[in-house]
Structure 1
Amino acid sequence: MALNTFTLKNTEEADVFERRFTEHVVFMRDQEGFAAHQMTRSAEQSGVYVNAGWWRSPDDFGKVARSAEFQQHAQSFHRIVDVDVLPARVLAADEPGAVVGTDAAEFPLVTVARFTVAAPQQKVAEAYAAHLADVPGGALGWSVLGVALPDPTQYVVVARWASAEAWAQVRRSVAWQELTAHADVSYVSGASAATGRSALAAAESA
């Protein structure tokens, strides 16, 4: 899993960035080890996008990232955006209403929550499971919990929700508060700017 935050240097170039990213995704979908991705356009921060990409292994992603075509795409991006990269490992996931990487129109809101907590990973995973069990039926499309590879105290939860109201209710819940207790949490929420799965992954889920 890789979480990339893109911040436009000039917010007027949003259309240019989204077009280039769409072209980049076409290339990535064909690469060995690619599974799915979800790009979110922040509703709160103009010019901010967050993309979560899922790979079979860090080695698969690393091989692609070193390729000449990927490097050309990266150079093109860096001309118009600043990029923050967080490599992570998936700890848990749930897909009660939709499949990760599919354009689930009934779950239009995408959220990305990043937090740092010193609790053992098992405790965090258990709190995440309790949070999922507490979510009202029909509110959640899918959710993925990841832990940062550079710093195992950093976590990220990427999810798709039926509405802003459903997400607000979840954030107020005791289960979510226990998951993020004593943590400095940052949130990005907004509409899906792009999403997709590899041809193999799509076939396996069909």
Structure 2
Amino acid sequence: MVTFVNRFEVSGPVEEFERAFEATSDFFRTQPGFVSHRMLRHLEHSGHYVNVAEWRDVDSFREAVGHPGFEPHARILRALATSTPGLYTPLLEWAAAEPGQLG
């Protein structure tokens, strides 16, 4: 499992960016190896977003972003925002303890 994290700073209309990202999301959901994603909008800074996507493996992710069908989505997003992408691998993960499970 790999995690793709991409921060966006939108310079165009945020509504247009959100529509374009939803279309991009629809594209990725059909790609082999896609697991899930979440788009987060900053509470205090309009136009700042973070996408967190889970992929089965690096190869699946690279095949999806190399797919010819992705290029039109990438072009539209680049016209509306700058981004800082990166692939990550899990290192540490915690979940809240169930009530009564603490020592």
The separation in 1 between residues aligned to 2:17 and 2:53, in whole angstroms, is 17
State the SS of the aligned residue for 1:46. coil
Q: Which amino acid aligns with 1:34?
A: F
Q: Distance in 2 between matches of 1:15 and 1:58?
A: 31
- Equivalent residue for 1:54? 54
Instruction: Report matched runs for 1:145-164 at 5 Å.
Output: none
Which TM-score applies when normalising by structure 1? 0.44
Structure-2 separation of matches of 1:24 and 1:41: 16
For normalisation by structure 2, the TM-score amounts to 0.85
Q: Could you list the runs of 5+ residues in structure 2 that have no partner in the other structure?
A: none
Distance 2:11 2:18 in 1: 14
| Separation in 2, partners of 1:83, 1:73 | 14
* 1:2 is the counterpart of 2:27: no
Give the superposition deviation at 1:90. 2.2
Structure whose CA Rg is larger: 1
SS in 1 for 2:14: helix
Deviation at 1:56, TM superposition (A): 0.3
Unaligned runs of 5+ in 1: 92-124, 138-206
Query: How many angstroms does 1:66 deviate by?
Result: 0.8
Q: What is residue 33 of structure 1 aligned with on the other side?
A: 33
Displacement of 1:6: 0.8
Deviation for aligned residue 1:68: 1.2
Name the SS for the 1:43 alignment partner.
coil
Q: Deviations over 1:145-196 (max 9, x none)?
A: xxxxxxxxxxxxxxxxxxxxxxxxxxxxxxxxxxxxxxxxxxxxxxxxxxxx
**Pairs aligned (count):** 97
Measured after TM superposition, the shift of residue 136 of structure 1 is 7.2
Distance 2:69 2:90 in 1: 27
**Runs (4+) of structure 1 moved beyond 4 Å?**
none
Give distance in 2, aligned partners of 1:75 and 1:44.
27
Secondary structure class of the residue paired with 1:79: helix
More strand by share: 1
User: Helix, strand or coil: the match of 1:45?
Assistant: coil
Q: Alpha-carbon deviations, 1:64-103, whole Å to 9, x = none?
A: 1111111221111000100100210123xxxxxxxxxxxx
Overall identity of the aligned pairs, in % = 30
How far 1:45 sits from its partner (Å)? 1.5
Structure 1 CA distance for aligned equivalents of residues 73 and 9 of structure 2? 16
